Copies of this chain bind each other. A is one copy, B any other.
Amino acid sequence: MTPSAISHEELAEAWPVLTMEERLEGFALLSRVDAEELFLRLESHQQAELLMAFQPAERRAWLRLLPPDDAADLVQEVQREARDGLLEQLDDQTRREVVALLAYEEDAAGGLMNPRFARLRPDMSVDAAILYLRRQTREHAENIYYAYVLDAEQRLLGVVSLRELMTAAPTKVVRDVMRAEPLSVPEDMDQERVSHLFAEHNLMALPVVDAEGRMKGIVSVDDIVDVVREEATEDIQKLGAMEALGAPYLDVGFAAMIRKRGVWLFVLFIGEMFTATAMGHFEDEIARAVVLAMFVPLIISSGGNSGSQAATLVVRSLALRELRLRDWLRVLGRELRSGATLGTGLGAIGFARVALWQHVGFYDYGPHYLLVAGTVWLSLIGVVLFGTLAGSMLPFLLRRMGLDPATSSAPFVATLVDVTGIVIYFQVASLVLRGTLL
């Protein structure tokens, strides 16, 4: 190891903001050990970019540093044409494993698992099992904290932790100390469901089995951390009125970024056009009482904000399984009370604002200013109530229809409430102000 001008930690920190030339330059300055450390720390898409920037002859050693699940993730990140070339660089066993992994959906248990795990036979003695594990480890089992007990057909019979093995009487057989019929997941289970199983059962690892009960690999809890983070990012981006980017901000190309943001902006814009239609309906009212137009943004945005709150709460609770579809009626009851309470509170402030401005002389709302203030109050109750109801029920509806509740719920509700809010506001106004301003 030779001393280098830049540490691999510093380089890893700066990585996302460097050009590929700067990365290659920095990488070349590192000692081999540090460069390997850095390479292992990079995300799959970063590893793929870097690897493809190397000379083809250099790629093999770097690719072979990776366990099969990470190698499969990397291969998935390069262009289709280049994949076979990379696969050829692997040793035969790893190549077979990687090819098998590539057949799985990226976000399924099979795409997440490591095909290498510690295996035991049920009739081994505990002592023999420990000895056997010591040997397996030296070869390739990345994770020997659990060992899986398989029959001759590779069917999963039980699981035993290394800790249980080590504390068991050495002369017992594995079958006596293993837990039989352990929790396992099918290859095609969605990674989000897998992550919930980990959370519910406080697991360190879960075996993945095929339709015949044959064990194919293990998913371990450190992979789940990434899944949880990734799924939260997707939901946050969807709630923020766009498609999930699927990669860090600075790594997404400009055109892709515009597409993922533009689609939802356009959809919401089309929806929001109905506000112009709704306003057009009340053109006469606005012409007669211009003062009414002034409160439109205040009133509809309050509905939008309360709707976003409700949508955000329900979407996240559904994602965390804190709420189920069947809870919709309880939520409805709760949101009715919340909406009424919050709307009444906001309305009171709105009323006070109009009355105060009139008294202090900031603005003259005319002789009927109390009626204007009352219109604002009543409208806010209606609009906030509608916002919380729409915001809390839309995610249930989306889930019921088999769609992702996060899909743009909050901004979609805000748009819906903008249009409805205008109608509510002018209806209230025509009731309250008939014979005076209107």
For A262, the chain B residues whose CB sits under 8 A away are 341-342, 345
Determine if A279 is an interface residue (Cβ-Cβ < 8 Å). yes
Given contacts A237-B313, A272-B302, contact A258 B342 (CB under 8 A): yes
Copies in the complex: 2
Instruction: With both chains docked as a complex, state the minimum distance between the C-beta of A429 and any C-beta of chain B, in angstroms.
Output: 14
Instruction: With both chains docked as a complex, state the minimum distance between the C-beta of A393 and any C-beta of chain B, in angstroms.
Output: 14
A297 touching B322, Cβ below 8 Å: no
Determine if A20 is an interface residue (Cβ-Cβ < 8 Å). no
The distance in angstroms between the C-alpha atoms of A326 and B414, with both chains bound, is: 33
The distance in angstroms between the C-alpha atoms of A114 and B308, with both chains bound, is: 38
Q: Which of A222-272 contact B (CB under 8 A)?
A: 222, 224-226, 228-229, 232-233, 235-237, 239-242, 245, 248-250, 254, 257-258, 261-262, 264-266, 268-270, 272
For A337, the chain B residues whose CB sits under 8 A away are 254
The distance in angstroms between the C-alpha atoms of A134 and B162, with both chains bound, is: 10
Stretch at the interface among A50-58, A95-103, A287-295: A287-295
Determine if A124 is an interface residue (Cβ-Cβ < 8 Å). no
B265 touching A199, Cβ below 8 Å: no
The distance in angstroms between the C-alpha atoms of A221 and B331, with both chains bound, is: 34
The distance in angstroms between the C-alpha atoms of A346 and B235, with both chains bound, is: 25
Between A225, A229, A411, the greatest number of chain B beta carbons within 10 A of the residue's beta carbon is seen for A225
Determine if A23 is an interface residue (Cβ-Cβ < 8 Å). no
Instruction: With both chains docked as a complex, state the minimum distance between the C-beta of A398 and any C-beta of chain B, in angstroms.
Output: 16
Instruction: With both chains docked as a complex, state the minimum distance between the C-beta of A46 and any C-beta of chain B, in angstroms.
Output: 11
Determine if A201 is an interface residue (Cβ-Cβ < 8 Å). yes
Q: Which of B202, B306, B312, B341 contacts A222 (CB 8 A)?
A: B202
For A272, the chain B residues whose CB sits under 8 A away are 297-298, 301-302
For A166, the chain B residues whose CB sits under 8 A away are 130, 133-134, 137, 144
B265 touching A309, Cβ below 8 Å: yes
For A317, the chain B residues whose CB sits under 8 A away are 248-250
Q: Which of B222, B295, B305, B418 contacts A411 (CB 8 A)?
A: B305
Determine if A49 is an interface residue (Cβ-Cβ < 8 Å). no
For A346, the chain B residues whose CB sits under 8 A away are 265-266, 269
Judged by DSSP, the binding face of A is helix
The distance in angstroms between the C-alpha atoms of A134 and B170, with both chains bound, is: 12
Determine if A80 is an interface residue (Cβ-Cβ < 8 Å). no
Instruction: With both chains docked as a complex, state the minimum distance between the C-beta of A89 and any C-beta of chain B, in angstroms.
Output: 23
Chain A 306-320 near chain B by CB (<8 Å), digits 1 or 0? 101101111111001
Determine if A296 is an interface residue (Cβ-Cβ < 8 Å). yes
Determine if A191 is an interface residue (Cβ-Cβ < 8 Å). no
B279 touching A297, Cβ below 8 Å: yes
B138 touching A237, Cβ below 8 Å: no
Determine if A123 is an interface residue (Cβ-Cβ < 8 Å). no
Q: Which of B309, B322, B326 contacts A248 (CB 8 A)?
A: B322
Determine if A172 is an interface residue (Cβ-Cβ < 8 Å). no
Instruction: With both chains docked as a complex, state the minimum distance between the C-beta of A289 and any C-beta of chain B, in angstroms.
Output: 10
- List 5 other contacts, CB 8 Å, given A41-B202, A241-B312, A290-B293: A221-B222, A250-B327, A276-B353, A279-B295, A293-B296
Query: What are the nearest 3 A-B pairs in CB distance?
Result: A240-B312, A232-B232, A275-B297
A contact residues vs B (CB 8 Å cutoff): 12, 16-17, 40-41, 130, 133-134, 137-138, 144-145, 162-163, 166-167, 195, 198-204, 221-222, 224-226, 228-229, 232-233, 235-237, 239-242, 245, 248-250, 254, 257-258, 261-262, 264-266, 268-270, 272-273, 275-276, 279-280, 283, 286-287, 290-291, 293-298, 300-302, 304-306, 308-309, 311-317, 320, 322-324, 326-327, 330-331, 334, 337-338, 341-342, 345-346, 349-350, 353, 363, 384, 410-411, 414-415, 418, 422
Q: Could you write out 20 A-B pairs with CB less than 8 Å apart?
A: A16-B322, A17-B324, A17-B327, A17-B330, A41-B202, A221-B222, A235-B236, A236-B312, A239-B240, A240-B313, A241-B309, A249-B331, A254-B334, A257-B334, A261-B309, A265-B305, A269-B298, A279-B295, A287-B290, A290-B290
